[in-house]
Copies of this chain bind each other. A is one copy, B any other.
C-alpha cells in the first residue's frame, strides 16, 4: 500500500489497462497466426499479463476473441463517424470511407488486417461478418439515398452499389497488406476514389 518504491506499483492499480493490453496484444497475434494458432501462453508472453489475470477478465479464449471483434468494429465505426459532419453528399461520404481505409492500412495495419481477414476460418462461431456491421450499414443508408436522388445508376440495388464501391478500396487494402502493392495507399487514394465512383455513378 503505502510502499511506493518505484512506478511499478501503478500497473497493479488499473485493471482496465491490463484488459486493454491483452486485447491489443492478442489481436496482433490473431492477425499474424490465426485464432487457433495462438495459445494462451503466447498471449501471456506478448501482453505481459499472467494467465490468471487473463482468465479473471475473460471467461475463456473464445470470449476474448469476441471482445476483440466488438472492440475493432466499434473503433472503425467511431473513426468513420468522427470524419463526418452529417451533411455530406453521397459521393463525399463514400470518399471519406475510402480515405479512411487507405489511411488505416498505412497507420494501423493490424487493425485493418483484423477487419479484413479475421472473420473467416470460423473457429469462433457467431461473429457477425465485418461487412454486416454498423459502419457498412451506415454506408448502405447513404447509397439508398443516392439511388433515390438519381446520382447512382439505377439498374443496381443499394447492396450491389455498396459492394462495388467498397470492393475497390478493400481489395486495394488486401493487396497492399499482402505486399503485392508497393505504393502506400495514401498515394493512390484519389485514383481509387475516382475508380469506385465511376463504377456506380449514373
Contact = CB atoms under 8 A, between A and B. Distances in A.
A121 B117 contact: yes
B37 A121 contact: yes
Contact of A123 (B33, B129, B163): B33
A118 to B, nearest CB: 8
Given A163-B172, A166-B171, A132 B180 contact: yes
Assembly stoichiometry (copies): 2
A37 B34 CA distance: 10
Most chain B C-beta atoms within 10 Å of own C-beta, residue among A32, A159, A167:
A167
Interface string A147-162: 0000001011001100
A180 B159 contact: yes
Q: Looking at chain A's contact residues, is the secondary structure mostly helix, strand, loop, or mixed?
A: helix
19 contacts: A32-B122, A33-B122, A36-B37, A116-B120, A117-B117, A119-B178, A121-B121, A129-B178, A129-B179, A129-B180, A131-B180, A155-B191, A155-B194, A160-B188, A164-B168, A167-B171, A168-B168, A168-B199, A195-B199
Interface of A: 30-37, 113, 116-123, 129, 131-132, 153, 155-156, 159-160, 163-164, 166-172, 174-175, 178-181, 188, 191-192, 194-196, 198-201
